[in-house]
Amino acid sequence: MSAAAIGGVAGIITVLEIFAITFFVALNGWYLVLLVGAAIEMRQHRLLAQGDTRMRILGSPLAPRISVLTAAFNEQATIAESLNSLFGLHYPNVEIVIVNDGSRDGTLDVLRNDFGLKRIHTIFRRVLATQRVRGLYRSAAHPDLIVIDKENGGRADAMNAALNVATGDFVCVIDADTLIEPDGLRRMLRPFLDSADVLGVGGTIRIANGSTFRDGRIVETRVPRRPIAGIQVVEYLRAFLFGRLGWNRAGGNLIVSGAFGLFRRQALIDVGGFCHDSIGEDFELVMRLRTNAYEKGGPHRIVFTPDPVAWTEAPESAAILGRQRDRWHRGLTDVVLRYRRVLFNPKYRVMGVLVFPHYAILELLAPVVEAAGMLALIAAALLGILNGPFAVLFFLAAWGFGAALTLFTLLLEQLTFRRYERLSDKLMLAVWTIAEGLGYRQMTVFWRLRGLWKFILGRTEWGVMERTGFQQQTPAQPGVQAALAGAATRSPATVAAPTVPVSRVQAGRLAG
């Protein structure tokens, strides 16, 4: 290669490096601001939430009705366990609406046999169009349980069917494989009572892998020893305890995880319910709710509250995690393009000028910039123009900053909730924090890039999710590992051909 060509490539590499460094400083600087916001928010939250009087008040007969909506597709193995955990919720006015979304296994039979379902013809208005409803059932044993049996239409369609039937003032949207802690609903409701401006509330999702459950409740919280699940624990803690909490102070959240979110029912109906053709349906829903609120007036805040906790199982294999992450990134891309009118639009106030641009620029482009930085590094090394000490220091800075942020989040967790009590678990959290930047993060960059590429190609499949079930503890044999009932396998499906597997590991994205 001629000296001129090498000079040209070196120039390009320098530009890329400057861009990558600027991007790195902007993104991480903003994360620092979010971390400070999260700490302030957490302090305020703890002051108000400590003591149980406030929680007891929410057990009043005046408490508003909450409908818990969940969709089940081939959930024969776990549906009874999940429902039993819902019956244990400490809330005085709750109904549970579960949609059997055309399951091909024995989901409906399990529900019929375990809960004594009786067919009913309740009267409801079909305000949201859905696939054909084959039947409605009410449990004789639990009159607050309604089961909708419908033809398969995907999770969004199932949720819309549930919205048609629900009678609550609020709806709590959860995944069929999510376990909610008993006082989760009461804690979720608190932000709605604190401010009339709240449209939706998201709670914390934690990773169930490694922990032990009995009768749908967690009895021992542990950190998984397997790297992929273990790193996801710190990833989730960081995403929820500083990302989303920080956004409460910086213009409100744009994501409420589909695995655990509470909304005003009428607001969901007013915007037309869940969107059938979006792969990032939870993000899309929140965007639609907030844009609609800014355009037409009314409550517009989406709040994250840290103490209502739901537990979900995380993928333990790189292949499944990769499919999940590439789907999330396709979802992000889809929503950013759909709502590009919001970008830097002052009509949408802080959402338009700060929150949405963060997702549209920093989050969406992060894998591209990171990959470009890595490629530039490799190219510079091949061309012999690599500044070795600079590259090493930059890597250490990037890795160290990420690890420091996560450690401060863990500290925040330790100062407040202290869910991981054993010293060995704290050590494992520190180990996974340090390990995250050494391979795992680079893999997520690759998966997100793959997601972008698939989006460009117009591919909308969801992929397969394999689960082993929650680790159970029986009273007679504590600690015995008994997978719920073998592995449940999600069938692949596409959004276009509405056969989306309705319960997933985690519906929302983690970033921010």
Partner 1 sequence: MNADALVRVSALILQVALGAGLALLFAHALAVIVVRRHRAPRIERGQRALYALLQPVAGARSPLADHERAGLFGHLARLSGVEQEEVLAPIAQSLTPEACEPIRSIAAEIGLLDRAMAWCRSPRWSTRLRGARLCSALCAGESAMVHLLRDRHPAVRAQAADWAARHATPDVVARLLEMIDDPDAFSRFAVQDALLRLGNDVVEPLAVFLERRDGPAIEPAISVASAIPHPRFLAAAIRHSGSDRPAVRVRAMNLLGSIGGSEVARLLVEHLEDGSPDVRAAALRALGRIGHWPRAPEMADRMRDTSWDVRRAAGLALRDLGSPGILMLRRMTSDVNSFAADMATQVLDLPPGVGGESS
Site for partner 1 in 86-115 (CB under 8 A): 95
SS3 211: coil
Burial class (CB in 10 A: 0-12, 13-18, 19+), 466: middle
Binding mask 400-429 for partner 1 (x = CB under 8 A): xx-xx--xx-xx--xx--x----x--x---
| Token pair for 473 | 């503890």
The nearer residue to partner 1, 387 or 491, going by C-beta atoms, is 387
Site for partner 1 in 153-212 (CB under 8 A): 167, 190, 192-196
Choose, by CB under 8 A, the member of 2, 4, 60, 457 that binds partner 1: 60
Residue pair 68/174 in contact (Cβ under 8 Å)? The answer is: yes
Choose, by CB under 8 A, the member of 1, 3, 4, 123 that binds partner 1: 123
119-132 b/e with 16+ CB inside 10 Å = b? eeeeeeeeebebbe
The nearer residue to partner 1, 305 or 324, going by C-beta atoms, is 305
Q: Where are the beta strands (DSSP E) in 57-197?
A: 66-72, 94-101, 117-120, 133-139, 145-150, 170-175, 179-180
Choose, by CB under 8 A, the member of 11, 347, 390, 491 that binds partner 1: 390
Give the residue ranges of DSSP H helices in 239-363. Answer: 245-249, 265-270, 281-296, 318-338, 349-350, 356-357
DSSP string, 439-450: IIHHHHHHHHHH
Q: Which range, of 76-84, 308-316, 394-402, 500-508, touches partner 1 by CB under 8 A?
A: 394-402
Q: How far is CA 95 from CA 64, 139, 411, 503, in A?
A: 11, 11, 37, 20
Residue pair 206/236 in contact (Cβ under 8 Å)? The answer is: yes
Choose, by CB under 8 A, the member of 125, 297, 384, 458 that binds partner 1: 125
User: Which among 167, 185, 165 has a CA at the least distance from the CA of 85?
Assistant: 185
Minimum distance from residue 432 beta carbon to partner 1 (Å): 13
In the Cβ-directed half-sphere of 120, how many Cα atoms lie within 13 Å?
16
Binding of residue 393 to partner 1 (CB under 8 A): yes
Binding of residue 12 to partner 1 (CB under 8 A): no
Minimum distance from residue 349 beta carbon to partner 1 (Å): 22
Q: How far is CA 212 from the centre of its chain?
A: 21
Binding of residue 396 to partner 1 (CB under 8 A): yes
Minimum distance from residue 301 beta carbon to partner 1 (Å): 13
Minimum distance from residue 162 beta carbon to partner 1 (Å): 16
User: Can you give the binding site for partner 1, defined by CB under 8 A?
Assistant: 17-18, 21, 47-48, 51, 53-54, 56-57, 60-62, 95, 118-123, 125, 138, 140, 143-144, 167, 190, 192-196, 387, 389-390, 393-394, 396-397, 400-401, 403-404, 407-408, 410-411, 414-415, 418, 423, 426, 430
